[in-house]
Amino acid sequence: MKKKFLMMFAMILIVSSLGQVASAAGKEVTVTVDAKKVNFPDGKPLLEESRVLIPVRFVSEALGAKVDYKNRTVLIKQSAKSISMKVNTSIVTSGDKRIFLDVPARLQKGRVYVPLRFVSEALGANVDWNSKKYLVTITTVGAITTPVDPKQPEVKPEEKPDEKAEEQTTTVNGNKPFEWDTKKTDLGKDLFKNNIRYSNGKVTFTVPDGAEAQFLSIQSGLINLKAGKQYTYSVGKGSINFARIYGKEDYVESYTLLLDKNEDSLKGQFKNLENDVIVAHDFVKNNKSVSTVGKLSDVVKSAQSL
């Protein structure tokens, strides 16, 4: 089950990435489900570093899943399968399991983009990518397919408000005051205790050994950061995600540094913040995902007693 969920989100990211490269080349990525062309009414599939990223709703619904979007979190349900992924983080929650992806979900032009292969395969479908034709073929189990006819009518998913519109209707702030996960804080110690610091509008840190780290912004896209190397980023735009995978315990510990105090998920909670940045920490508590946020200065102070 875990591998299927990982593969599912990977594919969604792949389709979305294909869109950017295809656009640059004057081509468009075509996605079919059981030989029927899927329509993307606004956000198109993208291509980034050999991964295809797509708007999560349309392919998921074409595969019979229900998609919801609340508090910057994508929720996908299909029968007994249920997964959730928060925008701008690389963590997927499935029951009491947390899975780390190498490419985070992102919000772009009012749509949430995720890896195509991961979502499709997690929902029990097979995925194939034809690089010459810019064609992604998704086949469900037991389906009989024929080659897609470019002239055939597109399969249009049920019309629903886009993710941005849904977000605007959410009035409850799902973020709780920052707290530490009672199960794992090893990464927290390495990151916030005698490491990360804020000064003169910039954040400087060294990526802890054994940790995965990524910087994400609309301007630069996704940048992987190397463990053991020091980095400095100006406050204003983008986010930095840190994660450590505990393979033997099947667990992931992660933190996200939000460089923009006006980030939508904060709901204006830190609009008056000066000379500081925000730290977001999501973890599983009593089989439920808990979202907590706090000021970096407070998190660093708290980390001294870990």
| Partners of 199 in the β-ladder | 202
Residues 25 and 141 in one domain: yes
Last residue of a domain, one of 121, 149, 168: 168
Residues 23 and 155 in one domain: yes
Mean pLDDT of the chain: 76
Evaluate the CA torsion angle 141, 117, 241, 224 in order and state its sign. Answer: positive
pLDDT band at 49, cuts 50/70/90?
low
Q: Which of 223, 216, 300 is nearest to 258 (CA)?
A: 216
Report, as an integer, the average pLDDT of 49-78. Answer: 80
Q: Does residue 295 have a pLDDT over 50? A: yes
**pLDDT computed for residue 199 by the predictor:** 94
Residues 235 and 130 in one domain: no
Phi, psi of 75 (to 5 degrees): -120, 120
Last residue of a domain, one of 144, 168, 192: 168
Residues 96 and 152 in one domain: yes
pLDDT band at 204, cuts 50/70/90?
very high
Give the separation between CA 105 and CA 113, rounded to whole angstroms: 6
Q: Which of 91, 255, 73 is nearest to 163 (CA)?
A: 73
Give the separation between CA 206 and CA 222, rounded to whole angstroms: 18
Q: Which of 217, 197, 184 is nearest to 296 (CA)?
A: 197
Residues 298 and 193 in one domain: yes
Domain total in the chain: 2
Range of the domain at 55: 2-168
Last residue of a domain, one of 123, 150, 168: 168
Give the separation between CA 37 and CA 137, rounded to whole angstroms: 9
Residues 44 and 187 in one domain: no
Q: Which of 28, 18, 48, 20 is nearest to 223 (CA)?
A: 48
How large is the greatest C-alpha to C-alpha distance in the chain, in angstroms? 65
Choose between 109 and 67: higher pLDDT: 67
Residues 32 and 120 in one domain: yes
Structure tokens at 95: 């029951």
Residues 149 and 195 in one domain: no
Residues 190 and 251 in one domain: yes
- Here the CATH number for the domain that contains residue 94 is 3.30.457.10
Residues 162 and 228 in one domain: no
Residues 182 and 154 in one domain: no
**pLDDT computed for residue 92 by the predictor:** 76
Residues 180 and 132 in one domain: no
Report, as an integer, the average pLDDT of 205-216. Answer: 92
